[in-house]
Amino acid sequence: MHFTGFVAVAVLLVTICRAAVVTENGFPILWEKAPALLSELPQADGVVKLDPWDYLQRMAMYRLMINATNSFMSSMGPGATENPLWGLPLQLGWKLKSGRLVDPTGVSTCGQESSDPVCIATSSWWGCANYHLSVIPFLVAVEAGLVGDGQAQVKIQVPAEMASDYCSSTCSSVHPDAIQKWATFFQSLKTISASEASDDDKRDQILGLMWSAQLASLDAVSSTCADKKTHYSSPERSFIDSWLHSAQYVGASHFHSSMEKSVQFMTPLPSRVLQETDKPPKIADLSTEENHTLYIFSWMTSINKLLGGTLTSMWQRAMCSAAARVKGRALLDDLLFNPQFATSSMLSILTEMTTKC
């Protein structure tokens, strides 16, 4: 093989190796090994004892919630992978495979693939953030009777050293806004699915309620998990801020986080934790797509700060109708997947959209 050909192959292999992994056999990572029934989870004296710092048990929460809500999601489209809750287990799988659930302090081997691969470190910011997107909605789904038919008793194990940050059986006193919005989402599913509205309207309503709940969970992350950010490099901390910020745009546009769309949006996410020497968008061992995503995330966060929050508020105002949200989702596609898209045109596009609201 000629030297240039060898180099091309080597570059291709690095790109493939570094592409974010979000599925396994067509499902979220280790999905098939996670318990699918409440009865398969650890129990004592008739009470389900869930350990949210065990990856498989956290993934089980998602399996149970998706199975419990599938019957209300026909408006999302045909097939078993249109439920918008699929985005949550796929996110958890990406965090596992990219090393973001590992103990960032290095004190323990929790999360390390060679020793304790299904452990979620309590010191991990990403593990803490996902806690608010798994345990909180799961407890609400149990209380609403969607999981366990209203008969189940569930107790969540809480790390002794940080008990005040987490919930054991209810989060209503700790995170009331997130609890209320998840309750509204779950309680509204039956009514919306049985209504005379069109599938498009049902889909928009369901996605609006789901994203309202997810954003409320992420608001809680800012206070509960903040101290864990100090364990990471400056580039990773910047990515954390941008990742949180991006949810405002995705949520306001009512992104349909089906299996297919979620995989498409997560594949360009960075496939490893960023180090101090990483300078996006020129990180040699990450793919062009990963570098581009890091650049766009950083650009949107920086512009929003420069404008005193105007970009986010303008985006939210522009997403004023179902038709506008369709345009918003197309704009997100352009930003993330079209390298030729001129980011400088975003403000003018949003300005035009807001004048039509």
φ, ψ of residue 156 to 5 degrees: the values are -95, 130
Q: What is the per-residue pLDDT for 152?
A: 83
Task: Please state, as a whole number, how many other Cβ atoms lie within 10 Å of the Cβ of residue 53.
Answer: 22
Q: How many CA atoms lie within 13 A of 303 on its CB side?
A: 17
Identify which of 167, 22, 156, 21 has the alpha carbon closest to the alpha carbon of residue 89.
22
- Report how far residue 78's alpha carbon sits from residue 59's, in angstroms, rounded to the nearest whole number: 24
Q: What is the per-residue pLDDT for 20?
A: 85
- Report how far residue 68's alpha carbon sits from residue 20's, in angstroms, rounded to the nearest whole number: 29
Identify which of 287, 251, 253, 254 has the alpha carbon closest to the alpha carbon of residue 271.
287
Longest dimension (CA), the chain: 68
- Report how far residue 184's alpha carbon sits from residue 140's, in angstroms, rounded to the nearest whole number: 10
Q: Which pLDDT tens digits describe the chain residue by residue (357 residues)? A: 333 333 333 333 333 445 789 999 999 999 999 999 999 999 999 899 999 999 999 999 999 999 999 999 999 999 889 999 999 999 999 999 999 999 999 999 999 988 999 999 999 999 999 999 999 999 999 999 999 988 889 999 988 777 677 888 878 888 899 999 999 999 999 999 999 999 999 999 999 999 999 999 999 998 899 999 999 999 999 999 999 999 999 999 999 999 999 999 999 999 999 999 999 999 999 999 999 999 999 999 999 999 999 999 999 999 999 999 999 999 999 999 998 898 889 989 999 999 988
Q: What is the per-residue pLDDT for 166?
A: 85
Q: What is the per-residue pLDDT for 112?
A: 94
Q: What is the per-residue pLDDT for 240?
A: 97
Show me where the domains of the chain are located: 3-306
